[in-house]
């Protein structure tokens, strides 16, 4: 740890003040709940695309992906390769569906199809997923800033969280979108700078990086064997397809943005712009992780310092000898997340550190602010106005959104503090999101595709799906004497199996009732509308 130069501190402070200023500027427009949640539907499609891209490119990507590539290989990049297929389904079917319903909440349709329980179930899944997302991102940003400043991780989360709450509460969705446009540019530029510095400081340059990467199998996308018990290519592809489909089709963060554009065509274009940007940029982060791996292999004394740091954190009261012994046993996967913050502290020149920290802040703030806004919208529409007080005035609705945004920001900080000490920020996010969101997409697909499925079949399928998700999640905790009852699937398959269980069981129960399935007409793209 070393003290940040004044110039870098000024850059960071200027960035934070600038983000708050954006919130103040757009606060003048927030006169209604519709403006706060939809920005009155006047945002251009390219800005929405940049906003969605910035939400995807969180600190989980900025720090977790290089750490993952450092500790293993490019297997996790398969998640990005699955994104175009999910985007095609979402742009062709989901976007027209949501725009034609006109509902700001992604979950209102579930109540129309199956009753209030379905809407409530989806809302609970969504809110739990958002808390996991915000927590993992708060943790990721604190991980890097602690290395730079020496301040406690909890303190960093609180300071950054207050700034995010301020501009999100004041500016609403319009501030979220336009700050994310700026943040998307800043975080991409920051990653390019770090990549250049690593390659420039590498003895032997790109050729040496490729040589070390090939020797240690760092560029592998995983095994192509049909094995679903390990993190193979197919496991990550299936997880990526279903999770991205859940993001584009069920996540309020994205669905809410479809209503901020001027037409269905602009909303669909925003999805594809996100894909065109995110896939190559996510590849860049994997390249960065491999470059860092090669750099530290040629500078083993730096690697020893990281190992000792991680061992010291795990044994805060351990003797120097015990810490050294533990450090010698650590694998790259156990300290991969620490490498990029260490490089920033020791190898990035003064003046650029502030810009890179601003990029990391951007990576965190863009996703957290959208999660806060979407969570507040869902709570307001799907919980408070649905069950507690349906007839709110305009001023009351806006006040409720302000309070809910603040509360979810605080809860996100608390979730981040609770994650302090996890090994991989990317792993913990993938596991939690797969568990919490596993059944929501299956229920939604069942409601959209199967016209004949009714409340009873949907409820039974959901209960069975939840039991399957719980079983797969807690299988590792089953005692050895009952080992035969454990799931053989990889944990990333929880999302896939949970979704398919609810969907297929729902179809089966409907068939058993003797009803003939037929596609919902709402799923057929309305060409006259799409071409608006």
Percent of the chain with pLDDT over 90: 10
Mean pLDDT of 408-416: 87
- Please tell me which residue, 177 or 88, carries the higher pLDDT value: 88
* Residue 175 or residue 468, greater confidence: 468
Dist. CA 354–CA 348, nearest whole Å? 10
The confidence band for 374, taking pLDDT boundaries of 50, 70 and 90, is: confident
pLDDT-derived band at 521, boundaries 50, 70, 90:
very low
Question: Hey, what are 23's tokens?
Answer: 């919130």
Per-residue pLDDT tens digits for 157-187: 888 888 888 777 776 666 667 777 777 787 7
Higher pLDDT, 480 or 167: 480
Find the mean pLDDT for residues 227-232: 88
What is the sign, positive or negative, of the torsion defined by CA atoms of 472, 476, 478, 481?
positive
Q: Is the separation of the CB atoms in 129 and 438 below 8 Å?
A: no
Residue 112 has pLDDT above 50, yes or no: yes
Tell me the C-alpha distance between 77 and 54, whole Å. 17
**Between these two residues, 21 and 227, which has the higher pLDDT value?**
227
* Mean pLDDT within 47-56: 76
**pLDDT given for residue 286 in this prediction:** 92
- Whole-angstrom distance, CA of residue 334 vs CA of residue 422: 9
Q: Which residues contact 299 (CB under 8 A, 6 or more apart)?
A: none
Rg of the chain's alpha carbons, rounded to an integer?
23
Whole-number pLDDT of residue 516: 47
Q: Find where tokens 């006109």 sit.
A: 102
pLDDT value at residue 173: 66
**Dihedrals φ, ψ of 514, to 5°?**
85, 15
Between CA 280 and CA 275 the distance in angstroms is 9
CATH architecture for residues 6-421: Up-down Bundle (1.20)
Q: Is 161 helix (H, G, I), strand (E, B) or coil?
A: helix
The pLDDT assigned to 527 comes to 43
pLDDT at 153 over 60: yes
End-to-end CA distance of the chain: 55
What is the rounded average pLDDT of the residues 241-257?
A: 81
Domain boundaries, the chain: 6-421
**Alpha helical stretches, state H, 330-450:** 332-347, 352-378, 394-418, 425-449
pLDDT, position 3 = 60
Answer whether residue 522 shows pLDDT above 60: no
CA dihedral 462, 60, 298, 218 (to 10 degrees): 30
* Residue 321 to residue 227: CA distance in whole angstroms: 41
Residues found in the chain: 532
Q: What is the pLDDT of residue 307?
A: 86
Which residue did the predictor score with more confidence, 169 or 80? 80
Q: Can you tell me which residue has the tokens 């409340």? A: 455
What are residue 72's phi and psi, to 5 degrees? -140, -100
151: left (phi over 0), alpha (psi -120 to 50) or beta: beta
pLDDT of 378 above 60: yes
Higher pLDDT, 440 or 298: 298
Cα separation values, 383 from 119, 259, 393, 463, Å: 9, 20, 16, 21
Contacts 24+ apart (CB under 8 A), 345-349: 345/1, 345/2, 345/147, 345/148, 346/302, 347/197, 347/201, 348/193, 348/194, 348/197
| Higher local confidence (pLDDT), 363 or 114 | 114
pLDDT of residue 429: 64
Query: Residue 224: what are its φ and ψ, rounded to 5°?
Result: -95, 10
- Short-list 353, 301, 358, 360, CA closest to 139: 360
What average pLDDT does the structure give for the chain?
80
pTM more than 0.85: no
For tokens 């020797």, name the residue. 215
Distances (CA, A) of 528 to 16, 448, 525: 44, 21, 9
- Alpha carbons 345 and 264: distance in angstroms, whole number: 46
Is-contact 306 125, C-beta < 8 A? no
- DSSP labels, 301-352: HHHHHHHHHHHHHH-TT--HHHHHHHHHH--HHHHHHHHHHHHHHHHSPTTH
What would the pLDDT profile of 318-347 be if each residue is shown by its tens digit? 788 888 888 888 888 888 878 887 888 788
CA dist 10 and 300 (Å) reads 33
Helix (H) or strand (E) holding 111: helix 108-114
Residue 525: per-residue pLDDT: 45
Do residues 38 and 256 make contact, with C-beta atoms less than 8 angstroms apart? yes
- Is a pLDDT exceeding 90 seen at residue 385? no
The CA distances from residue 175 to 33, 217, 358, in Å, are 14, 43, 18
pLDDT confidence band for 501 (50 / 70 / 90): very high
Lowest mean pLDDT among 278-282, 300-304, 423-427: 423-427
CA distances, 378 to each of 103, 118, 297, 383, 465 (Å): 11, 14, 48, 7, 23
Distances (CA, A) of 271 to 47, 61, 87, 276, 412: 11, 19, 6, 9, 26
């Amino acid at each position: 740890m070393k003290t940040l130069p004044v110039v870098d501190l000024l850059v960071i402070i200027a960035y934070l003040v600038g983000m708050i200023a954006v919130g103040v500027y757009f606060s003048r427009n927030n006169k209604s709940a519709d403006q706060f949640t939809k920005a009155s539907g006047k945002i251009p499609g390219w800005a929405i695309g940049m906003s969605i891209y910035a939400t995807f490119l969180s600190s989980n990507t900025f720090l977790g992906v290089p750490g993952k590539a450092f500790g293993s290989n490019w297997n996790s990049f398969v998640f990005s390769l699955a994104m175009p297929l999910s985007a095609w389904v979402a742009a062709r079917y989901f976007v027209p569906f949501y725009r034609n319903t006109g509902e700001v909440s992604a979950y209102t349709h579930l109540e129309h199809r199956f009753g209030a329980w379905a809407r409530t179930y989806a809302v609970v899944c969504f809110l739990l997923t958002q808390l996991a997302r915000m927590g993992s991102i708060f943790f990721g940003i604190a991980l890097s800033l602690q290395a730079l400043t020496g301040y406690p991780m909890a303190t960093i989360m609180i300071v950054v969280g207050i700034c995010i709450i301020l501009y999100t509460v004041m500016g609403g969705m319009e501030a979220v979108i336009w700050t994310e446009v700026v943040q998307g540019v800043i975080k991409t530029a920051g990653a390019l700078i770090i990549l250049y510095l690593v390659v420039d400081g590498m003895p032997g340059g790109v050729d040496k990086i490729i040589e070390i990467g090939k020797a240690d199998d760092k560029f592998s996308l995983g095994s192509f064997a049909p094995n679903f018990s390990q993190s193979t290519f197919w496991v990550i592809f299936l997880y990526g397809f279903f999770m991205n489909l859940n993001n584009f089709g069920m996540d309020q963060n994205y669905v809410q943005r479809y209503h901020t554009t001027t037409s269905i065509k602009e909303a669909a274009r925003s999805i594809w712009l996100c894909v065109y940007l995110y896939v190559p940029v996510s590849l860049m982060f994997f390249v960065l992780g491999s470059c860092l791996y090669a750099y530290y292999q040629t500078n083993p004394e730096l690697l020893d310092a990281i190992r000792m740091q991680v061992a010291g954190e795990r044994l805060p009261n351990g003797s120097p000898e015990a810490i050294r012994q533990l450090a010698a046993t650590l694998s790259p996967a156990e300290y991969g997340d620490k490498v990029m913050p260490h490089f920033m502290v020791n190898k990035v020149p003064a003046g650029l550190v502030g810009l890179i920290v601003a990029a990391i802040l951007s990576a965190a703030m863009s996703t957290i602010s959208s999660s806060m806004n979407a969570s507040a919208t869902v709570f307001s529409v799907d919980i408070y106005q649905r069950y507690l007080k349906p007839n709110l005035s305009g001023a009351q609705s806006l006040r409720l959104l302000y309070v809910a945004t603040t509360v979810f920001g605080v809860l996100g900080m608390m979730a981040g503090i609770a994650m302090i000490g996890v090994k991989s920020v990317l792993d913990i996010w993938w596991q939690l999101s797969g568990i919490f969101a596993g059944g929501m997409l299956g229920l939604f697909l069942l409601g959209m595709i199967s016209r004949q499925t009714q409340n009873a079949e949907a409820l039974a399928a959901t209960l069975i799906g939840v039991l399957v998700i719980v079983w797969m999640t807690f299988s590792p905790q089953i005692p050895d004497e009952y080992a035969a009852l454990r799931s053989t699937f990889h944990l990333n398959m929880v999302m896939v199996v949970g979704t398919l269980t609810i969907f297929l069981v729902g179809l089966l129960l409907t068939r058993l009732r003797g009803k003939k399935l037929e596609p919902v007409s709402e799923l057929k793209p309305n060409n006259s509308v799409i071409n608006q």
